[in-house]
Structure 1
Amino acid sequence: MGKSIFFNLVLSFLFLCCYFSLTPAQNAIQLPLKAVNLGNWLVIEGWMKRSLFDDIPNKDLLDGTQVQFKSTKLQKYLCSENGGGTTVVANRDSASGWETFRLWRNDESSFNFRVFNKQFMGLENQGQGNTLVAVSNDPGHSETFQLIRNEGDPNRVRIRTSNGLFLQAQPDSPVTADYEGSSWDDSDPSVFEMTIVSGIQGEYQISNGYGPERASQVLQDHRSTYITEDDFRFMSSNGLNAVRVPVGWWIAHDPTPPQPFVGGSLKALDNAFQWAQNYGMKVIIDLHAVQGSQNGNEHSGTRDGFQEWGDAYIQDTASVIDFLAARYADNPNLAAIGLMNEPMSPGVTLDTLIRYYQLGYNAVRKHTPSAYVILSNRLGPADSKELLSFAGGLSNVAIDVHYYNLYSDSFRTMNVQQNIDFVYNQRSSDLRAVTTTNGPLSFVGEWCGEFAMQGASKEDYQRFGKAQLDVYGRATFGWAYWAYKCDSNYWSLKWMIENNYIKL
């Protein structure tokens, strides 16, 4: 009897040892990861699916659209003197920064105009005068204008002010809001030729463009169809073992985020975790869009393209990380949380970024000791190794680098072989520089099969893709292709796999 009890105790002990040793292994992250970004799912990027914006009225005048106005009478451009802080005139022969205005959209025809130094155009003395100035930091009634577009030529406009009258440009004087005429003649001082310089198509633009009810339906339909459980089956069956999911700061306020954002992204992220579990995959959550915008790009959730993230937003941004970590820390499919995507140097200083990264790291560690924390390198004029010293004192961290053979003139002059050689030589060297022996892991968080040369053949793309897989496969945390789906074929990993352009 004693031997039997002893034997049973030994068996129980061995079972428990095996259980507790196997359970972590079942949930352990097998590095390096082969991942894909689920871009344009929970953070909209219009270039990836432009049809999402098709039904917005005046869709060419969304938040952040940069416009210039040329008086047809004077043949001179509107200009905020000194870039802002004083009067608005119409006396420039050519247009640059001071002559460019960024739209804040109130509705399809009502706007605020933000100038170069970030003030808003409006009427003097808080609307009591009729001279046009750019002095307000917060737009109100006197900084609100209606754009009246000519039916036959929508870039021919008149601008109605809060006093009900129109702007007019007169020689050698500030622009005033006191014109009552209604003609579209070139000689009319209230007629301007509007040039659209550039636009933004991000989450803010689609949400504010459609308005809360319509945007909620459009984005709900998009989220439920753009990425589905069947996509996770496809990814898993084709050699991928993880997804990187870009999210916006408003997800922490779901289901009722601040306007104009609409709810629903949190439920979609929950679905991603469930589908990942169903197909044995891991999830990297990446905070892609932060309050104030860390880089001014549409994927940062920006309203108007200005980069304004900084010290004032650190605590709020860390709170988003805390929310995400608290919600998913115990989920066995969580691989990592990326604290911020593509902060831009020099607008985001290294000191500010490190202060935030420390708070974000602490927020993750408060809820889990094992999930990886991903620190994104700054874009722009920044040292790719600048985070290594800081990250060396942290546990389970990875440095995120993004490699695209695009966006600079040097790539536009390269032929196919030169692009491939650049990957094997320069990219390989860059990756080695951030892949340390005892420090943080390295992660190529974004790359794609597209490159700057036009007219490449299928074989060219295959060779270029293979070169990147060879090199980025040496990243110790792994890599993530951008993106799973995209209207541009070479950016879509699903299309690349289905059409035999790339093999994992």
Structure 2
Amino acid sequence: MGNLPYKAVNLGNWLVTEGWMEPSLFDGIVNKDLLDGTQVQFKSTKLQKFLVAENGGGTDVFANRDAASGWETFKLWRVSDSSFNFRVFNKQFIRLDGTNKLVATSNSPSNPETFQIIRNSDDPSKIRIQASNGLFLQAQSETVVSADFQGSTNWEDGDPSVFHMTIVKGSTLQGEYQITNGYGPLRAPQVMQDHWNTYITEEDFRFMSENGLTAVRIPVGWWIAHDPNPPKPFVGGSLAALDNAFTWAQNHGMKVIVDLHAVQGSQNGNEHSGTRDGYIEWGESYIPDTVAVIEFLAKRYGNHPSLGGIELMNEPTLGPNLDSLRKYYQQAYDAVRKYSETAYVILANPMDHDSKALLSFAGRFNRVVIDVHYYNLFSDQFNNMNVQQHIDFIYNQRASDLSSIRTIDGPLNFVGEWTAALSLQGATKEDYQRFAKAQLDVYSSASFGWAYWAYKCQYDHWSLKKMIENGYIKLKQ
């Protein structure tokens, strides 16, 4: 299975797209600021009040709030370039009742739950909303919002059919679902195929191998098991790209870690989980389908000489009850073992639990790895640290945490994601070099190895390729 520990890199944004890494992927989408999951708020210009799904859903929609919070915020489900469903706080959808009043009582969207957002060409935040009956929404009063306005060419404030739309800052999702549904079924297949053909090539594997990397961790989505005709809006083609990666890895003496990064229902609500709108819905009912994806991957690659391991799920964030996760890991492990007795099976530690959460559970298995992710980011504790404090944190806390999941006879440990990026103003090249070296010093002690996030990215310090080319990181002695 190769020489451990691996010096690996994540091929992020290749087979599971993340728009923050390469935002140009979204440039051709009409209304690209209104993708699936984007959170919006609507304020009546007549009443100067926000629309609200009373009680978070299950009853009427009013226009009586002076400020907007959860009940006044709607998540978009994109139907076309300008047509959407509006999902409310408690997950119902807005629809028209029998009198054309607006209610939030539907559990699944269809035509009555579909609305067109018509934007003012001079001020796109000023909108009208056309319902499925062809008429426009109007806020007649604070307690009556209806779809019975014939329309107008007047965009002045005070018109009952004119609303100000606020896109909640930081709410936009830019994942695989958003890009494929954003382009639609006619354009998305070619956009994605062009991306897969050019973003990572065999030349990249040559570069990685020549610079001391021994493995790649490749994020994949659950829909890869349904290739070439996955459920919409996903498009076929990612399986052929993964096949190519195995061939290129073999050609250049590298291993492939297949990482199920996005599971059906979403295990963490993040855009890289394939979510449509950010809700975490994976649970016990999804276990059979998710196990089937792992079995598909194990059957296809279990005996491939370049397989380094199969990761059963990336970054689960499932709350205090781990029973469903353990049940899934047991069944998925068994699925891998049907096709390979030697392939490493990687269990991602739940992100909302201590690193030792799976340690005793994993001890029952053979050739199993616990994956932890370390970022000196995404938490207030890092906001005021200087470079030396970041480095000290690596040598002390990170080293201690990693050693806590290192055992003699039990599972191996793996730092499946880390980066030299810092949210620190004014850091010098030497600062980044020292910070990267500290992490390499500590994470090299992981018995399965480490994997940098990511190989290629528009942001220099997130991109291992740029870090190597520019002399920030040197791996090959």
Is the partner of 2:144 in helix, strand or coil? coil
After TM superposition, give the deviation of residue 70 of structure 1 in Å: 0.8
Q: Does 1:45 align with 2:18?
A: yes
Aligned partner letter, 1:135: T
| Stretch moving more, 168-177 or 319-328 | 168-177
Q: Does 1:365 align with 2:337?
A: yes
Gaps of 5+ in 2: none
Deviations 1:366-403 (A, max 9, x none): 100000000001112x1221111110000000000000
**TM-score, structure 2 normalization:** 0.98
Tell me the residue number matched to 2:129.
159
1:415 pairs with one of 386, 408, 413: 386
Tell me the residue number matched to 1:11.
none
**TM-score, structure 1 normalization:** 0.93
Is the partner of 1:135 in helix, strand or coil? strand
Whole-angstrom CA distance in 2 between matches of 1:363 and 1:452: 41
After TM superposition, give the deviation of residue 174 of structure 1 in Å: 2.9
Tell me the residue number matched to 2:262.
289
Q: Does 1:149 align with 2:119?
A: yes
Deviations 1:5-44 (A, max 9, x none): xxxxxxxxxxxxxxxxxxxxxxx32110000000000000
Q: Does 1:188 align with 2:159?
A: yes
Whole-angstrom CA distance in 2 between matches of 1:340 and 1:352: 13
1:376 pairs with one of 339, 348, 354: 348
Tell me the residue number matched to 2:145.
175
Is the partner of 1:223 in helix, strand or coil? helix
1:426 pairs with one of 390, 397, 408: 397
Deviating above 6 A after TM superposition, structure 1's stretches of 4 or more consecutive aligned residues are none
Whole-angstrom CA distance in 1 between matches of 2:339 and 2:429: 47
Tell me the residue number matched to 1:5.
none
Gaps of 5+ in 1: 1-27
Whole-angstrom CA distance in 1 between matches of 2:394 and 2:422: 11
Deviations 1:233-267 (A, max 9, x none): 00000010000000000000001111110000000
Tell me the residue number matched to 1:450.
421
Q: Is the 8 A contact 1:329 1:367 kept in 2?
A: yes
Whole-angstrom CA distance in 1 between matches of 2:389 and 2:364: 38
Tell me the residue number matched to 1:475.
446
Q: Does 1:57 align with 2:6?
A: no
Tell me the residue number matched to 2:217.
244
1:5-404 aligned at under 5 Å gives the runs: 28-124=1-97, 128-182=98-152, 183-197=154-168, 198-346=171-319, 349-380=321-352, 382-404=353-375
Q: Is the 8 A contact 1:338 1:375 kept in 2?
A: yes
Q: More helix per residue: 1 or 2?
A: 1
| Stretch moving more, 146-155 or 177-186 | 177-186
Aligned length: 472
Which is higher, the Rg of structure 1 or of structure 2?
1
Aligned partner letter, 1:478: G
Whole-angstrom CA distance in 2 between matches of 1:95 and 1:324: 45
| Stretch moving more, 432-441 or 172-181 | 172-181
Whole-angstrom CA distance in 2 between matches of 1:82 and 1:438: 53
Whole-angstrom CA distance in 1 between matches of 2:8 and 2:453: 9
Q: Does 1:494 align with 2:462?
A: no
Whole-angstrom CA distance in 1 between matches of 2:331 and 2:407: 23
Whole-angstrom CA distance in 1 between matches of 2:194 and 2:221: 18
2:455 pairs with one of 468, 484, 497: 484
Is the partner of 2:208 in helix, strand or coil? helix
Aligned partner letter, 2:371: D
Aligned partner letter, 1:365: R
After TM superposition, give the deviation of residue 119 of structure 1 in Å: 0.4
After TM superposition, give the deviation of residue 452 of structure 1 in Å: 2.0
Q: Is the 8 A contact 1:411 1:453 kept in 2?
A: no
Is the partner of 1:190 in helix, strand or coil? coil
| Stretch moving more, 361-370 or 175-184 | 175-184
Is the partner of 1:410 in helix, strand or coil? helix
After TM superposition, give the deviation of residue 435 of structure 1 in Å: 1.3
Whole-angstrom CA distance in 2 between matches of 1:426 and 1:486: 28
After TM superposition, give the deviation of residue 438 of structure 1 in Å: 1.5
After TM superposition, give the deviation of residue 497 of structure 1 in Å: 0.1
After TM superposition, give the deviation of residue 117 of structure 1 in Å: 0.5
Report the RMSD for the aligned CA atoms in angstroms: 0.9
Give aligned-pair identity as a percent.
70
Q: Is the 8 A contact 2:47 2:142 kept in 1?
A: no
2:437 pairs with one of 457, 466, 474: 466
Whole-angstrom CA distance in 1 between matches of 2:227 and 2:51: 41
Q: Is the 8 A contact 2:267 2:318 kept in 1?
A: no
